[in-house]
Structure 1
Amino acid sequence: MHNKPADHRLPYGDDAFQFGDLRLPNGQGPYPVAIIIHGGCWLSKFATLQNTAALADALRDIGIATWNIEYRSIDNNGGGWPGTFTDVAHAADFLHHLANKYSLDLKRVIVIGHSAGGQLALWLAGRHRLPPYSELYIKNPLELRGVITLGGVTDLLAFRQQAIKVCGTDVVDRLLGSVPAQIPINYKQGSPNALLPFDVPQVLIYGADDSVVPIEFGHTYAQEALKKGDVVKLAEVPYAGHHEYNVPNSVTWPTLRSAALLLLGQLTSPQEHAEHTHLANPS
C-alpha cells in the first residue's frame, strides 16, 4: 500500500525493534496525538508498523499527529513476557520526551490498535491499574483520552484456541510466558478484560464479516466493561472483514475517523458533532 514516508523515525530504546514513526499535520501545534499499534498475531513475520503506515498518513491528513510504533514481538529476542508489553508502554511514555520539540498536546492522546495491537492498545489504557510488584508496572503512565480497537483481541484466555487456528501456533501462551493455568497472574495483568475498569472511553470497531477476531469478542467485553462503569461503544461495520481497518477510505474508515475526532474533541461543526455523537454512547 502506498504511503508517504514518516516525518521522523525515532528510537525509544536500544533494540532494533524499539522505534516509532512520527507524522505531524500541517499547521501549528500543539497537535492531538494518536498512538498506533499494528497487529499480526504478536509475530513480526506477519506484520510490522508498515501495515499501519497508510492509516497513520490518513489520520495525519485530518489534523492528528501519529506515533506509529514498532515493538518486540514474540518471535523477536526479548519479546513476549514482559518485553512486548513493556516496549509498548515505553513507546507510549516516550511522548513525554517528544512533546516539547514536536508540539504535541499530551492532554489529547488516544491509542488505536489493530487485532493483536488492539489487545495492546486496551492494555495501555488499563495498565495504570497494575500493582507495583508487576513485571509490567511502570510509574506515571501516560494518560490517554481514549482507545480505539480495530478487530481487537479483548480477552486473551478466550482467544487462545482461536489464535491457534488463525495464527498457526500458541501465540497467546508465548505472549504470556506460559499457559494461563501455570502462571495465572500473567493473564490477569496482560489481558485487557482482567484489568477493567479503565476509566478511559473505549470504541470497539468490528467488521461484520471478520472471521479472525469476530465481533462476539467485542460484545462480551463491552458488556463486562459497561457493568464495571466504563464508557464503551461497540460499532459493527457491514461488509468489512479483518484487513480493511488499516485501509484509508475503506468501509471502516468513516467510523474510525469519527471515533478518533470525537475522542480528541476535534469535531469541527455542530452538524458534524450531531452526526457522530452516537459513538459516544454505550451500547
Structure 2
Amino acid sequence: MPAQEKRRIVTFGLASLAAAALAACSPVRLLNAAIPSGGYRKTSGIAYGSDPRQVLDVYVPVAAGAAPRPVVVFFYGGSWQNGDRANYLFVAQALTSRGYVAVLPDYRTYPETAFPGFVNDAAASARWTRDHAHEFGGDPSRLFVMGHSAGAHLAALIATDPRYLASQSMSKADLRGVIGLAGPYDFLPIKDPTLLDVFPAGTRAESQPINFVTGHEPPMFLAAGTDDTVVDPGNTDRLAAMLRKHGDSVEVKHYDGFGHIRIVSALALPLRGRSTVLADVSAFIDSR
C-alpha cells in the first residue's frame, strides 16, 4: 500500500475516533491522545499570582520562523466552575503549529471565587504574558487573547471593560486582537441556579461584555456553531452588531452544523482537516 494512502487511512481513523469520543460527550482531554510530542517546547507551572490556581504553561514553536512571534493567551471554558489547562494541549499544539507562542493559564473558578474573581485572573495572566513574552521569543506588541465558551467571555470582558486591564497597568491598546469561540457575551437574564451564585446579584450587568463597547476595542474574531445548544449563537451576533455600531473591527464566522464543543475540538490535529477553524483564526492573527 502506498505511503500516502496509509497516511490517509490513519488520519481518517484518528478523526473518526476523535469524533466518536466527542459524540459520546467524552472530556476534551481525549483529543490530546493524538497530539505529537515534538514541534514545541513547553515551560510548565509558571506562577502569575499567589493562588495555586494562578499558574500557566508556555508553549514555544521549535521550528525556525520569524521572531519575535505573535503571542496568544488561551482561556478554556467550563461554566466558570471548572477546567484544567493540561486538557488543552491540543489548542497549544495547534497555535504553535502556526508559529505562535501559546500561553495557557489556569484561573480561579466557582466556588473558590465568583465574578469578578476569574476575570481579574484573566487580566493578571495577560499582564504576565505582556511582561514576559520576550523571554520566550514572543512579541509583546502582538498580544492576542483567545477563549472558548466561558473563556471567550473572559477574553471579551477584559477587552471591553477597561477596568480589568487598568488594574494591571494595561489598556485595550495592549491587545492586538481577541478571538472568541462560542462565547457568552450578552446572557442576561441568568436562569441557571448555579450561575446565579457565580454572578452575584448586583454584579450581573457588569459581567456582560456587550455593555462596555465604546468604539475603542481591539479587533475581534467571533465564531459560533449554528447547532450550539449550550451558548446561544445570538451572543456572537449581538456583540458583533454592537462592535460594528461603534465602529470597531470585527469578523464573524458561523460554522454550519457545529455544536458547542466541536468548534474548539476542530483545532485538534485529528479533526483539523475537517473545518477551517484554525485557518480562520490564523488568518485573523497573521493580518495584524
TM range (shorter): 0.7 to 0.9
Aligned with residue 140 of structure 1, among 166, 170, 178: 170
Residue 170 of structure 1 is matched in structure 2 by: 194
| Alignment RMSD (CA, Å) | 2.4
Q: Which runs of 5+ in 2 are unaligned?
A: 1-30
1:117 correspondence with 2:151: yes
For the pair 1:72 / 2:108, whether they are aligned, the reply is yes
The answer for the alignment partner of 2:75 in structure 1 is 37
Structure 1 counterpart of 2:179, one-letter code: I
Q: 1:51 to 1:244 in 2, by over 3 A?
A: farther
Residue number in structure 2 paired with 1:202: 220
Once the 2 structures are TM-superposed, how far is the Cα of residue 86 of structure 1 from its aligned partner? 1.0
List runs of 5+ in structure 1 lacking aligned partners.
Answer: 267-283
Identity %, equivalent residues: 25
Instruction: Indicate the SS of the match to 1:170.
Output: helix
Contact 2:221 2:281 in 1 (8 A): yes
CA distance in 1, matches of 2:41, 2:207: 30
| Separation in structure 2 between the aligned mates of residue 135 and residue 35 of structure 1, nearest angstrom | 14
Indicate the structure (1 or 2) with the bigger Cα radius of gyration.
2
Tell me if structure 1 keeps the 8 A contact 2:71–2:133.
no
Match of 2:118 among 84, 94, 105: 84
Q: TM-score, normalised by structure 2?
A: 0.77
User: 64-73 vs 206-215, which deviates more?
Assistant: 206-215
Q: How do 1:1-283 and structure 2 match up within 5 A?
A: 1-2=31-32, 3=35, 4=37, 7-9=42-44, 10-26=46-62, 27=64, 29-44=67-82, 47-76=83-112, 79-128=113-162, 130=163, 137-141=167-171, 143-158=174-189, 160-161=190-191, 164=192, 169-171=193-195, 173-176=196-199, 178-179=200-201, 183=202, 186-197=203-214, 198-247=216-265, 248=268, 249-250=271-272, 254-265=276-287
Alpha-carbon contact 1:207-1:252 (below 8 Å) kept: no
Contact 2:187/2:235 (CA < 8 Å) preserved in 1?
no
Rounded Cα–Cα distance in structure 1 between residues aligned with 2:170 and 2:281: 26
| Closer/same/farther in 2, CA of residues 112 and 175 from structure 1, 3 Å limit | same
Instruction: Return the alpha-carbon distance in structure 2 between the equivalents of residues 147 and 72 of structure 1.
Output: 21
Structure (1/2) with the larger helix percentage: 2
The size of the alignment, in residue pairs, is 244
1:277 aligned partner: none
